[in-house]
Structure 1
């Protein structure tokens, strides 16, 4: 048998194992609200090839690919346990088991490692939490996709309604079509039908009422059977407490804004300051996509090296706020053609850092340039550090942060020498450190941070909503602090 034959046989064997994992992963998710991860990447509803590619990602940890033959025994061990709602990382289990010297079997080790999610310790499954989307633009539709994807057993977040202004004939059909197909993010994973008689979109079995209203005051959500809902405002029309309070109508308990909040509205970056949200807080903001991209790595660098000052320059994809062709716009430069020009503009991300990282006293300045790409941006974060270091030390540190720290869902890491913006479409991380572009000279460091300003940000929004709704379940084994 040739080397090629050996490689092909090995691949087919791994495909067979990955196929056997899919129904187990799906059953745990549907019946127990258990999400199976591999180094913070979800394996729920993934194909055979996606599962194998995710295992290959483990090369970043110790230079060797993690095999499904190594993780399957841990997955099998989980099926024998009385698990409650949780997230369980097979990659972390495998790595921790390899470093353990107690001589335990896989079954014994797994039971001990996830004991916080079993027996008397497990979280009881709730009834689910209603969610309403106010507005259905780029972020709204991506958040809708994520909410539908994460419905699972129906005991988590449930997208119950979308509120929009009437758009005329066939409005419902057109909105459903925009949810079904996206020029950047591809096809919706599942089926979508429309019931025009009841003004309902049915997506993967989820009945989503489309409510037409010109103002929040026109809606009584209890009339649609909605109660204690979290409303996600992705219009950006209201950004202060007074304006956002208009959404606190019958049936709505909390309001989450997908834009930087003004005044005393808390700006939340999940992974950094989400645990500061007060239980009785009814209005909060998820800040901006750029704030979410820079704050996690900024925190990581400040924790390890100290930061004396910084500047962020964002090279940002154009957005719907700009004009396709030159036309009047209230802003000075955004009226110029977005797909034909680089357009200098302002960014509030630097000033928003103070809200998310109040203990960071370093001054952070910022500016932005919009460029002719439809999605994925890059933030160039230039820092004066509190001590001298080396490029190798910074990269080793950030790589470890991306893999094992509490920020691993926010920070990703790439060593690809030919990486370009389109490679990061669909990234679920708030930002991705480009190792090849990183520069360090003494106490000066420049980080290049890619981010999908649409999908990665939407993932951060959903994480905040999960947290405030009480369905952000703990991860096992617990990440290192």
Structure 2
């Protein structure tokens, strides 16, 4: 390798690094000040570091066959940062690629191009009122929801985490709650600062003031004494799953709606955002965000059914162990779950396959399901064994699902990977509901087997947040559509 080549290689890297360093603060400012979430061909840039931004640009070539250079997307981002914009999801990569490669955009300067593409949000000011949010319970999902709510801190943030409700209140409780939010063995450290306010029994995190309330029953809390009104309560305890139980939240002073982070029972609507979120009505006061597995498989099953038709099938989930299991052998009311979660693969039941039909009724009675709990702390895998209505091929299914992950209305739910080396830990922190592993796809005539990864904690929490936004009336467009 000659010296000139090495210098060119280093110069190219330094150029990309410098552009990424300029991009990083604008990405954060767009989010905090304008509630604009930026992605690059589906890869979220929220909280992205310098290398993340560079790597996201490199992946564009995998989808288009053409490079997208940072110096090509930088002027688009810079122009975006200067505009008055209503909240939206904006794919910078797609905008920049279309500007440089689509013939119909030739002759337009950047301002003209953005005026055309962003016609629905340019010059618009978001006047939606701020929505108070309360987390009832502070376990794995509760703490991740707290992280997601806190990262939205900014002058245009419309969802404000106002309180956390937990049982207990023993000495040292606040410090332990703060420590669990600050450090996570799976998801890493909290991105920011957390302090404990003993005098007011509260936590302060990145400018958020979060009241900690101790209560044994949902209907015993008076939120109004803390200045909280018309709150959406996110129940992540799983203790109450029907309308009567969840209705106790609405008996508390200062609440308006309640959402459950588990499958709802009875007539409670189970919402998988992206599939049936249009069923959320303004008058709905109690909803369920279904389960992590239902959120992972339903979007993929929906698009496959619409394209190829699903006659029937079986869903097997290889699921990370949960707090419901025992670390070592001990009594458990459920079969097998009493055996050590850290040492065994444990066959158990799952209602996810049947629950799919609550969000997508066309598959009612067509799916069976089972689960194997395995000794990993997070990220699970759903294996979809499907009998289709028509013959297809591995390439056709993979190409279809890749397209769905990039350009469909389910692009925030379905992700796609072509990696031959990907394993479960690589998917920790994934914001989509599922990731299709294209290298594992098997197709024979009308039979197809697909492998779908999902972060059963963080990816699911992102889906819950989307339902919370919809309940609050916060629906944002995705651009390009």
Fold shared, TM-score > 0.5 on shorter chain: yes
Q: What SS does the corresponding residue of 1:57 show, helix, strand or coil?
A: helix
Runs in 1 of length 4+ with deviation above 6 angstroms? none
Q: What SS does the corresponding residue of 2:354 show, helix, strand or coil?
A: helix
1:325-367: CA deviation from partner (whole Å, max 9, x where unpaired):
1111111111111001111100010110110001334611000
1:148 correspondence with 2:156: no
Q: For the structure 1 residues 123 and 299, does the alpha-carbon distance in structure 2 shift closer, same or farther, using more than 3 Å as the test?
A: farther
1:45-102: CA deviation from partner (whole Å, max 9, x where unpaired):
3221221122223233123442211211211222343322222211121233222425
Q: Which moved more, 1:61-70 or 1:387-396?
A: 61-70
8 Å contact from structure 1 (residues 318, 372) kept in 2: yes
What is the TM-score normalised by the length of structure 2?
0.96
Task: For 1:272 and 1:144, locate their aligned partners in 2 and report how far apart those are by CA, in whole Å.
Answer: 25
1:355-385: CA deviation from partner (whole Å, max 9, x where unpaired):
0001334611000010111111100001111
8 Å contact from structure 1 (residues 244, 283) kept in 2: yes
Aligned to 1:379: 382
Q: How does 1:133-212 map to 2 (within 5 A)?
A: 133-212=135-214
Instruction: Pick one of 79, 89, 97 that aligns with 1:87.
Output: 89
1:206-234: CA deviation from partner (whole Å, max 9, x where unpaired):
01000000111210111111111111000
1:2-40: CA deviation from partner (whole Å, max 9, x where unpaired):
323211111111111111122322332333222222223
1:237 correspondence with 2:246: no
Task: For 1:186 and 1:102, locate their aligned partners in 2 and report how far apart those are by CA, in whole Å.
Answer: 43
Aligned to 1:400: 403
Q: For the structure 1 residues 102 and 198, does the alpha-carbon distance in structure 2 shift closer, same or farther, using more than 3 Å as the test?
A: closer
Instruction: Pick one of 48, 51, 60 that aligns with 1:49.
Output: 51
Aligned to 1:127: 129
1:105 correspondence with 2:109: yes
8 Å contact from structure 1 (residues 310, 362) kept in 2: no
Task: For 2:197 and 2:91, locate their aligned partners in 1 and report how far apart those are by CA, in whole Å.
Answer: 39
1:460 correspondence with 2:476: no
8 Å contact from structure 1 (residues 338, 371) kept in 2: yes
Aligned to 1:284: 287
Q: How does 1:53-64 map to 2 (within 5 A)?
A: 53-64=55-66
8 Å contact from structure 1 (residues 134, 232) kept in 2: yes
8 Å contact from structure 1 (residues 402, 409) kept in 2: yes
Aligned to 1:274: 277
Aligned to 1:27: 29
Q: What SS does the corresponding residue of 2:391 show, helix, strand or coil?
A: strand
Task: For 1:143 and 1:100, locate their aligned partners in 2 and report how far apart those are by CA, in whole Å.
Answer: 43
1:320 correspondence with 2:293: no
TM-aligned CA deviation for residue 285 of structure 1: 0.4
1:419 correspondence with 2:422: yes
1:364-422: CA deviation from partner (whole Å, max 9, x where unpaired):
10000101111111000011111101101101110111111111111111111111111
Q: How many residues align structurally?
A: 476
8 Å contact from structure 1 (residues 307, 362) kept in 2: no
8 Å contact from structure 1 (residues 85, 125) kept in 2: no
1:388 correspondence with 2:377: no
8 Å contact from structure 2 (residues 330, 339) kept in 1: yes
User: Structure 2 stretches of 5 or more lacking a match?
Assistant: none
Task: For 2:402 and 2:35, locate their aligned partners in 1 and report how far apart those are by CA, in whole Å.
Answer: 30
Instruction: Pick one of 68, 71, 74 that aligns with 1:72.
Output: 74
Q: Which moved more, 1:98-107 or 1:174-183?
A: 98-107
Task: For 1:228 and 1:100, locate their aligned partners in 2 and report how far apart those are by CA, in whole Å.
Answer: 50
1:117 correspondence with 2:121: yes
Task: For 2:218 and 2:286, locate their aligned partners in 1 and report how far apart those are by CA, in whole Å.
Answer: 15
RMSD: 1.4
Task: For 1:374 and 1:323, locate their aligned partners in 2 and report how far apart those are by CA, in whole Å.
Answer: 13
Q: Which moved more, 1:27-36 or 1:213-222?
A: 27-36
8 Å contact from structure 2 (residues 31, 152) kept in 1: no
TM-aligned CA deviation for residue 471 of structure 1: 2.5
Aligned to 2:373: 370
Task: For 2:37 and 2:88, locate their aligned partners in 1 and report how far apart those are by CA, in whole Å.
Answer: 6
Task: For 1:32 and 1:331, locate their aligned partners in 2 and report how far apart those are by CA, in whole Å.
Answer: 48
8 Å contact from structure 1 (residues 164, 211) kept in 2: yes
